[in-house]
């Protein structure tokens, strides 16, 4: 199966300067997916990845609040 690598960046911002764009801050996750993946499947995978990251981030905060 042929695969591709996709880098998902979130919780940051795009900054443009001198005809260049770069992503600053935030988090990023790498995905290895089959080349035949449909857009809807990729979108669902990205959403689940970000939500899981958010839940993991929130767990220490919830423990500290108890």
pLDDT tier, 65 (very low <50, low <70, confident <90, very high otherwise): very low
| Domain boundaries defined on the chain | 3-65
Predicted TM-score (pTM) of the model is 0.55
Instruction: Name the more confident of 57 and 20.
Output: 20
Which residue is associated with the tokens 């990845």? 49
Please state whether 36 falls in left (phi above 0), alpha (psi between -120 and 50) or beta: alpha
Tens digit of each residue's pLDDT (9 = 90 or more) over 23-49: 899 888 888 899 999 998 888 887 787
Q: Determine the pLDDT at residue 42.
A: 86
Q: Higher model confidence: residue 8 or residue 66?
A: 8
């Amino acid at each position: 199966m042929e695969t591709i690598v996709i880098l998902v960046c979130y919780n940051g911002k795009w900054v443009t300067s001198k005809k260049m764009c770069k992503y600053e801050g935030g988090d990023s996750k790498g995905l290895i997916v089959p080349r035949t993946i449909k857009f809807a499947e990729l979108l669902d995978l990205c959403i689940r990845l970000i939500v899981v990251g958010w839940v993991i981030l929130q767990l220490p905060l919830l423990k500290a609040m108890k």
